[in-house]
Structure 1
Amino acid sequence: MRPDPAPADPFDLRKARVHEAEGRGRRAFALLQAARHPGPLVWILPGHVPELPMLRGLPQGVGARLHLLRPASEVDLLWCMEESLRAAPVGLVIAEPEKPLSLTAGRRLQLAAEKGRTTGLVLIRQDAGSPATETRWHCEAMAGPVADSTLHDWTLTKNKKGTLGHWVVNWDGTSAAFTLVPKVGERRQLAEPAR
């Protein structure tokens, strides 16, 4: 079986599937996906986690569509995610479980995403992924060339339907627009002026 050709947009998550992001930059990756997916957004965090997305710090248009759920337990978190994935009008479901997902839990989430035609993104701790996930991303922040700039180092480490890849992304965090930073030695130089 041949892998699918690489999509024109490497960050286009396959619809009706559940994906994972790990690493210190996983929330930035989730915010980019939230800005790119139309419709209602559901973000599920454990009830005791003190860090919440700040509405004024979200990309444009995301705060008005965001529904934040704070279940009391890990079982409730998985139930919330499964039910949110089944809800057809939801564009994206983001969840932050504290424990690794079992194969059974991962498969249940995949079936729920297929039924609701909804995309899921699970923000996991390092090496806590489920074998049932469609793709897994490793996301880290990098220092940018200027003080106001943040570069993102995103690596696709698992892909059931295609190839793997690595990208350095310059994203300002305010919209769905981003630029890919070319590798060293592949930067385009200005043409020498004619003499």
Structure 2
Amino acid sequence: MNGARMSTLASLRGSIERMETHGDVHGPDRVALGHRSADEMLRGGLALAAVHEVFAEGHQGAAATGFIAGIAGRIAPRKPLVWVRQDFAEIESGALSPGGLAELGLDPRLLVTVRAADVEAALRTTADALACDALGAVVLETFGEARQLDLVASRKLTLAAQASGVTALLLRVAAQPAPSTAETRWIVRAAHSPPAAPWSAWGAPVFDAQLVRNRHGPVGRWIMEWKCDECQFSEPASYPQPVAAIPAHRPHQAAARAGHRLAS
């Protein structure tokens, strides 16, 4: 049994090495994120028909969810999206907000959510969904460490995505990265939003996005602002910091006013 497993792992490692060496000969189709520096690092954007991973610490789950929703909207704005959620992920993170997803470029009418009892069921459902070439993308969301999401499972998802042309997005909250066949791997945190307009209660969503794996190039880290109207990421615009007004009741201010009155 051990010999068979070692042979399987050796075969998978060889396949992965061949993919990384020759996988970009014909140049995969890509979709730009909109953020100039990140797109340059990614050779034009995220590769389609591939697996991409987004990781977040437990308290950064909302930021990672928003980031992956923005990516999904960029990949397939007019195609159905299947979002597979492990039961425990929904318990920990809460239900997805249709209004929030719409702000991030997803049409809630094209979204199909599936709750899976455990990681095994979530993996099976994701693989089945990836086989449907009518979809734009499939999101697999899990919470915590999951030994089932190993190199073999990643390889199966990659092959399914390549066969159908459907992109797989893995949202991993409160988990540590492990070896995989993912095209890219991101670690996402929330970043400070710029001051909002007086009539708006909230600023634009801003993400601290760190690319820690890029099969076809270097890695990097950027602050990405989501433009709701354009439905794309961008480099945050510079804005002046608010400056506190000088209090009028300070002694030197009072003296100055008194001198002004005497002079007049």
Equivalence for 2:16: none
2:112 aligned residue (45, 50, 67): 67
1:136 is aligned to 2:185: yes
Q: Which has the higher contact order (CA 8 A, sep 6+)?
A: 1
Deviates more, 1:7-16 or 1:127-136: 7-16
Cα distance in 2 between the residues matched to 1:173 and 1:30:
15
Cα shift at 1:112: 0.7
Q: Which has the larger radius of gyration?
A: 2
Deviation, 1:76, is 0.8
Query: Is the contact between residue 81 and residue 93 of structure 1 (CA under 8 Å) also seen in structure 2?
Result: yes
Range with greater deviation from structure 2 (68-77 or 142-151): 142-151
2:99 is aligned with what amino acid?
Answer: R
1:113 aligns with 161
Q: Which deviations, in whole Å up to 9, do the C-alpha atoms of 1:96-133 show, x marking residues without a partner?
A: 12315111111111111111111011011342344221
Q: Is the 8 A contact 2:69 2:106 kept in 1?
A: no
Distance 1:122 1:130, change over 3 A: farther
Kept after mapping to 1: 8 A contact 2:138/2:168: yes
Q: Which whole-Å CA distance do the structure 2 matches of 1:167 and 1:145 have between them?
A: 15
Please report how far the alpha carbon of residue 166 of structure 1 lies from its aligned counterpart in structure 2 after TM superposition: 1.5
The answer to whether 1:53 aligns with 2:96 is yes
Distance in 2 between residues matched to 1:175 and 1:92, nearest whole Å: 20
Q: Are residues 1:89 and 2:134 paired? A: yes
1:131-161 deviations in Å (ceiling 9; x for gaps): 2211101111112231522421111100111
Aligned partner of residue 116 in structure 2, secondary structure: coil
Partner of 2:242: none
Moved over 6 A (4+): none
TM-score, normalized by length of structure 2? 0.62
2:153 partner amino acid: A
Inter-CA distance 62–9: structure 2 relative to 1 (3 Å threshold): farther
Question: Secondary structure of 1:146's match?
Answer: coil
Q: CA deviation at 1:28?
A: 1.2
Distance 1:175 1:94, change over 3 A: farther
Q: Name the SS of the counterpart of 1:97 in structure 2.
A: strand
Q: What residue identity is the alignment partner of 2:126?
A: M
Residue matched to 1:35? 73
**Number of residue equivalences:** 184
How much does 1:175 deviate? 5.5
Q: Which has the higher helix share?
A: 2
For the aligned residue pairs, the C-alpha RMSD in angstroms reads 2.8
Given the superposition, is the C-alpha separation of residues 175 and 70 from structure 1 closer, same or farther in structure 2, using an over 3 Å criterion? Answer: farther
Q: Distance in 2 between matches of 1:28 and 1:9?
A: 22
Range 5-14 or range 130-139, more displaced: 5-14
* CA shift in 2, pair 1:176/1:75, >3 Å: same
Check conservation: 1:167, 1:181, Cα contact below 8 A: no
1:76 equivalent to 2:131? Answer no
211, 216, 223: which one aligns with 1:156: 211
Q: Give 1:9 shift.
A: 8.3
- The separation in 1 between residues aligned to 2:71 and 2:216, in whole angstroms, is 19
Structure 2 Cα separation of the partners of residues 156 and 106 of structure 1: 18
Q: TM-score, structure 1 length as denominator?
A: 0.82
Q: Distance in 2 between matches of 1:173 and 1:75?
A: 35
